Structure 1
Amino acid sequence: MADSSPSSSTVSRTALLLLRVLTFVFLLIALILIAVANQTNDQTGDKINFSDFYTYRYMISTIIIGFVYNLLQMAFSIFTVVSGNRVLSGDGGYLFDFFGDKMISYLLISGSAAGFGLTVELRRGEPSNSFTDKAHASASLLLIGFLFTAIASTFTSFALPKKPNN
């Protein structure tokens, strides 16, 4: 009787696609949360939102860059899972996946850390409010997006071409 279990490469491609979809979802929610976060200052009546803080602007930039990269990689992964062929063939495709995942994961963790740092500083002077709660939730979701991208980076490292050492 023939073995009908999927090959390990099919399983890893599917797992990689799942990781990319999860990253996509968490980055999308993080983007929405930080974009809609606002608060009205009780004393002056001014409205505060993410664009008033350079750190939150940086955080939203990292989310958008990670979102776009992940969208591209999701398209590549869907094509690979459906067709069985890679869009970027050869060693260059594997290197692009690996180094892209590494760089984007580092970018995501820096955005998350920056968001957490500013949120802690803003909460130091006053109790938490809806603005800082949403910013904190967005930074948390960005951290989860980093974790999924870091795990995807581990999967892509297994696919790197093995070169003999001379």
Structure 2
Amino acid sequence: MPEMVESTPSTRSTGSRTVLLLLRVLTFVFLLIALILIATSKAIDADTGDRINFNDFYAYRYMISVIIIGFAYNLLQMAFSIFSVVSGNRVLSGNGGYLFDFFGDKIISYLMISGSAAGFGLTVELNRNLPSNSFTNKANASASLLLIGFLFTAIASTFTSFALPNKAIT
């Protein structure tokens, strides 16, 4: 009969650190692509001949701001995760580090879902009045990638909530 091997806390924490790093890398990739799509999305207004880009719409400006904030936060967390996986130690030791991870992931994920919703909402409104074009298609794709980034950050938030020690809450 095969022997049952119990995983030690360090094995489990190494595994969860690796999964967390993978989630952060995936979020980073999706946010980068979303940023490139929305920033390069341009069109020409058929009536006036004016050039249209994301900067002409408040919802798209909000979406790109959220992408940049999420990108910066995720870059910081990726660096922390890489350090943690390589060294086995946390950069921010103590309860403050766990709380920073937990609340940071929560706040950023909520910003990301609201940015995605703003982008989807404006795209629907623009497509209602104008025919779908490459500008709105790219903006819609960017909002979709932001939504996927939100999902990865929300999952990472679940992992950071498991790491939150009981004494940090009290």
TM-score, structure 2 normalization: 0.92
Aligned residues: 165
Q: Which amino acid aligns with 1:125?
A: N
SS of equivalent to 1:142: helix
Q: CA RMSD in A?
A: 1.9
Divergent runs of 4+, >3 A? 163-166
Structure 1: stretches of 5+ with no match in the other structure: none
2:114 and 2:147 map into 1 onto residues whose CA distance is 9
2:169 and 2:32 map into 1 onto residues whose CA distance is 42
2:83 and 2:70 map into 1 onto residues whose CA distance is 20
SS of equivalent to 1:163: helix
1:41 and 1:102 map into 2 onto residues whose CA distance is 39
Q: 1:148 aligns with which of 152, 159, 167?
A: 152
Q: Which amino acid aligns with 2:158?
A: T
Give the deviation of 1:126 after TM superposition.
Answer: 1.9
Q: 2:27 aligns with which of 23, 44, 51?
A: 23
Q: Which moved more, 1:6-15 or 1:132-141?
A: 6-15
Q: State the identity %.
A: 80
Q: Which residue of structure 2 lines up, in the alignment, with residue 64 of structure 1?
A: 68
Give the deviation of 1:43 after TM superposition.
Answer: 2.3
Q: 1:108 aligns with which of 109, 112, 115?
A: 112
Q: Which moved more, 1:72-81 or 1:42-51?
A: 42-51
Structure 1's 45 and 74: CA in aligned 2 closer, same or farther, altered over 3 A? same
TM-score, structure 1 normalization: 0.95
